[in-house]
Amino acid sequence: MGAAFKETKLPADAPKGRKALAWVDDRFPLSKLWNDQWGRYYAPKNFNVWYLFGSLAMLVLVLQIVTGIFLTMYYKPDSNLAFGSVEYIMKEVSWGWLVRYMHSTGASAFFIVVYLHMTRGLLYGSYRKPRELIWLFGFAIFLCLMAEAFFGYLLPWGQMSYWGAQVIVNLFGAIPFIGNDLSLWIRGDYVVSDATLNRFFAFHVIAIPLVLLGLVAAHLIALHEVGSNNPDGIEVKDNIGPDGHPVDAIPSHPYYSTKDFFGVSVFLLIYSSVVFFAPEMGGYFLEYNNFLPADSLKTPPHIAPTWYFTPFYSVLRATTSDFMWVVMAGLAAYVVFIWLRSRLSYKTKIAVTVLAVVIEIGMLPQVLDAKFWGVVLFGSAVVILSLLPWLDHSPVRSIRYRPDWHKAVYAVFFVAFVTLGYLGTQLPTPAYTLIAQIATLLYFGFFLLMPWWSTMGRFKPLPKRLTFTPH
């Protein structure tokens, strides 16, 4: 037998709104969900501007879903009609140009916000124990965003959309044995065609958004289960007050609701300025070639993905046959370094050495070509982000209490990442390729050497309580 239903009793003169809420709460935990996830969720009191980007990411997600729904009302997922339907939205549908520009600008805004959100996690060690699962959920969200952007990029059926998809899908052909069949399966045809457009549309509009929403919910639930990190990187739950809440934490509402509202206002001002005055952003948000209908017989002079993919695309493009010898030398040196400086067990070191030897053999030009290893490094540049919780061995979380030279290491990493992003938008000249190869080594070196450099130097003592200046 189930428990007897008990209805909340309110005074007869109680406001109607309160009565309606009580009626809903008796049948659905609306107030409980609000209080658990935000209203009475206690967060550290020393949050700064870096902590706005999580809320902004939620806002942009909603904007993208809403504008995407309106676009699908007029868009035609047909290779003969797709480009014309986008033109129809822009020129004939009332306010269609605004919805389309909001969606295209929102795509870039989403990645800007997410990259800044990930930067905050990197600076303050928000991926460290006990928040590893939060980071992994966030990484999965990042992968979904990349997939969502890639599938959506083909839909306008412009020149850059068509040829960008053709190049990226062809990369899978570099995988031994199954590459060609895998590329054929993804395209649904021997070239990017109507079949490709239809399946990309289905993934962009239905499949990926459903997965994305589930991951966002899991990310937030995991966050609120273990609690938020803070700029000091110390646990506020270690100092509980007589009311049962951390003494250095405050309710998210109204204290952070007001700050988020201000952050949203600033973001919408910038976002609206771009939408109304520079929606193409000099060709970085909307390329010139994408205003030309797709032509399978005319290849654009310079094919490049959208800017948010270019750091990883640069890694792919930097992997030449000559560069593979540098990679092989670096891998060999890394194995020697593990034997000399690592605390791994003897069996683990043997296993790492055997794996490295197998990879070194595979890197020989007679075995697997540079194109394959370019795809491997392209994927590794993304996947290595998920390993941060296990690569960082620093005794403190936050960069505030690390040695000052650690900040220089982070600065070099950020410069290398931005450099790769810029070079991915440019033609691959010999000079640019050399710079991209150096930046690639710095990018991977930051992560692969992190177990050692993150423990080196004199660390500052952690405070017992949060450092916070009222304002």
Cβ–Cβ < 8 Å for 169, 151: no
Tell me the CATH number for domain 34-279: 1.20.810.10
Please report, for the chain, the start and end positions of each structural domain, with discontinuous segments joined by +: 34-279, 302-459
The pLDDT tens digits for 282-341 are 888 988 888 999 988 888 888 888 899 999 999 999 999 999 999 999 999 999 999 988
* Residue 64 pLDDT greater than 90, yes or no: yes
pLDDT exceeds 70 at position 1: no
Q: Does the CA dihedral 464-116-451-220 come out positive or negative?
A: positive
Q: What is the pTM of this model?
A: 0.93
User: Which residue would you say has higher pLDDT here, 5 or 58?
Assistant: 58
- Amino acid sitting at position 221: I
Instruction: Label residue 188 left, alpha or beta by phi (over 0 means left) and psi (-120 to 50 means alpha).
Output: left
Q: How much is the average pLDDT of 158-178?
A: 87
pLDDT, the chain, mean: 92
Query: At 3, is the pLDDT very low, low, confident or very high (cuts 50, 70, 90)?
Result: low
β-bridge mates for residue 44, sequence order: 249
Could you give the CA distance from residue 468 to residue 471 in angstroms, rounded to a whole number?
9
Kindly report the CATH number that applies to the domain delimited by 302-459.
Answer: 1.20.810.10
Q: 204 a known binding residue?
A: yes
How far is residue 205's CA from residue 440's CA, in Å, rounded to a whole number? 34
Q: Is the pLDDT of residue 469 over 80?
A: no
393 labeled binding residue? no
pLDDT at 441: 96
Is residue 224 annotated as involved in ligand binding? yes
Place of tokens 């031994």: 176
Residue 16 has pLDDT above 90, yes or no: no
Q: Is 91 a residue whose pLDDT tops 70?
A: yes
Q: What is the pLDDT of residues 256-277, one digit of tens each?
A: 999 999 999 999 999 999 999 9
Q: Which residue has the tokens 């658990």?
A: 36
